Structure 1
Amino acid sequence: MAHYVIRVKGDLSPELTGVFPSLTADREPAQTVLHGELEDQSALAGVLNHLDTLGITIVEVVQVPPSS
């Protein structure tokens, strides 16, 4: 598993962020930051595809290195 941070444009509603139960949503001005553990690259691709299907603009995707 890897920890990812996905920054998207806009303030996503709890209904929208609820679609991604493995991710936590933090709202910032004009953006929402989704972050959490995803099983693999396929799971990440699934989240990104779902956001795209919903018409949500993805601003940034970062894989956070594991803490040692």
Structure 2
Amino acid sequence: MTHYVIRVKGTLSRELTNAFPSLAVHSEPAQTVLHGYLHDQAALAGVFNHLDMLGVDILEVMHVPQPARPQPARPEPARPQAARPQPALPQPARPDPDG
């Protein structure tokens, strides 16, 4: 599905905008903006034809690109690490031979 913004001349009545149930409607001074996701170019052509049949002048059509999907982070390759000195382990107590 592709997101489109269609700006038309004039403020469309609710009756006219109800003809486009898959599109959201925003009225602006002397213009109406229809926007939403359409399945394909045929669906977009259907909206154009419908607007034409209603006598509505199209001022602008804009394709809104999909936001880029973030790429998953790649793990850093393992780097060889320098050997760490091991702590000295306590030595067992030895019995004193003199005692």
TM-score (norm 1): 0.98
Distance 2:17 2:54 in 1: 11
Matches within 5 A, 1:20-59: 20-59=20-59
Equivalenced residue count is: 68
Aligned to 2:5: 5
Identity %: 68
Instruction: Summarize deviations over 1:5-48 as a string: whole Å, max 9, x none.
Output: 00000000111111101000000000000000000000000000
Q: Which one has a larger percent strand, Structure 1 or Structure 2? A: 1
Q: Which runs of 5+ in 2 are unaligned?
A: 69-99
Q: Which has the higher contact order (CA 8 A, sep 6+)?
A: 1
Q: Which runs of 5+ in 1 are unaligned?
A: none
Q: Which one has a larger percent helix, Structure 1 or Structure 2? A: 1
| Runs of 4+ that moved beyond 6 A | none
TM-score (norm 2): 0.68
